[in-house]
Chain A
């Protein structure tokens, strides 16, 4: 076995057969080859061990949840719109990432704004959310019954610009954003409302633009149905998940 390995190494380096370099050079060359082989074997073993790694990852995730070490549990869910990323804290569902958002960006956002201890882990509310999403897309569910964590409703600006919009003007208070999302959550399946109506229901009839921006950063799309809010001038308007997704959701509900 050793002889065979040795020969195959020489074959890979034909100059070794004929050169007259010192033993040290030969040793160095042999060691370099050996190093490459060790690395290659390790990577090949990784490929073989992928199922083992996956199994241990699941074990660790469950234990981490039990010990309260996974602040944000995440799960992916394949929906008719594409792959949805779900995030949940101990308090409830905190984020629904639509297919148009990159999974990496959603995870980065959760790490920066909730906790870096983000882990793919089997939190119950995630299973519930996945099941309810399936039922919703199958037309069998008209409202979601899930514990929600609203903390990402707050402005997403970095601390230095907190409270101010890109144009330097003060952002609407978190309370207003929350009121907008609550008013939105109350729109029944199959109906729609305009931005103006939602602004009024949230207590500031004149703030329909701020209503638009609150809905554009809705951390819980679909579950908090911001797709049911339309411009009064017609059309479906903007959507965090893309206009196409908004149209499909409204069509699914028979609202357009």
Chain B
């Protein structure tokens, strides 16, 4: 009986949010940190999860939950950037997070290079390989065409490749 209940529930209803967080939360955190730096990225992550919980009942397709979460995250990152422009951090705070903008989101020089890519390429590469999104999902998150998403990923990789080869 439990298995029957489960398959029926899984087919018709949204999965328990706890499972969504377990399966996709790390990708959301990775994206937020890559886009907003370690400190602000953590804030973005929390805001994203709270907003997702708030609107969870409106999600129509449980299969699209990853792209949906990252779309919210992308919006929170933009909010964060705007807030920062409006109210620059106090000097003392800047000292603490002096590296926030440039610090690599991941250990290793490779992702540090990703962080220095032009914005669209950086975001596309981060979503593709950090968030594990398809080109179609990236297009949704970045509000571009699928071709443009594919191109941004490719150009980002090509640029990295050239840098690595050329030193």
Chain A residues in the interface with B (C-beta under 8 A): 1-3, 5-6, 27, 30-31, 34-35, 37-39, 41-42, 44-46, 48-49, 52-53, 56-57, 59-60, 63-64, 67, 69-70, 72, 74, 101-102, 104-105, 107-112, 116-120, 156, 158
Contact = CB atoms under 8 A, between A and B. Distances in A.
B88 to A, nearest CB: 25
Interface stretch (B2-10, B69-77, B143-151): B2-10
Given A70-B53, A118-B16, A30 B26 contact: no
A49 B2 CA distance: 34
Contacts of B14: 111, 116
B29 interface: yes
Given A6-B165, A53-B25, A116 B13 contact: yes
23 contacts: A27-B161, A31-B158, A35-B128, A38-B125, A42-B129, A42-B130, A45-B105, A46-B30, A49-B29, A52-B42, A63-B46, A102-B6, A104-B19, A105-B2, A105-B3, A108-B10, A109-B5, A111-B17, A112-B5, A112-B9, A116-B13, A116-B16, A117-B56
Contacts of A111: 9, 13-17
B98 interface: no
B167 interface: yes
Nearest to A102: B2
A108 B130 contact: no
B18 interface: yes
A64 B9 contact: no
Nearest to A39: B129
B108 interface: yes
Contacts of B158: 27, 31
A31 B160 CA distance: 9
A60, A101, A107, A109: most-surrounded residue (chain B CB, <10 A)? A60
Contacts of A38: 110-111, 114, 125, 129-130
Given A38-B129, A60-B49, 8 more contacts: A27-B161, A35-B157, A44-B107, A44-B108, A45-B105, A59-B46, A63-B46, A116-B56
Interface of B: 2-3, 5-6, 8-10, 12-19, 21, 25-26, 29-30, 42, 45-46, 49-50, 53-54, 56-57, 105-111, 114, 125, 128-130, 132, 154, 157-158, 160-161, 163-167
B50 A60 contact: yes
B29 A116 contact: no
Given A5-B110, A105-B3, A116-B57, A31 B46 contact: no
Contacts, number: 148
B124 to A, nearest CB: 12
Contacts of B8: 112, 158
The main secondary structure of chain A at its interface with chain B is helix
Contact of B111 (A31, A42, A108): A42
A105 B5 contact: yes
A56 B42 contact: yes
Contacts of A46: 26, 30
Contacts of A48: 107
Contacts of A57: 21, 25
Nearest to B113: A2
Given A53-B26, A60-B50, A105-B6, A34 B106 contact: no
Contacts of A2: 109, 163-167
A49 B34 CA distance: 13
Kindly name the residue among A6, A38, A44, A111 whose own CB sees the greatest number of chain B CB atoms within 10 A. A38
A39 B5 CA distance: 36
Given A34-B157, A119-B21, A109 B29 contact: no
Given A56-B29, A70-B53, A119 B111 contact: no
A175 to B, nearest CB: 23
A39 B6 contact: no
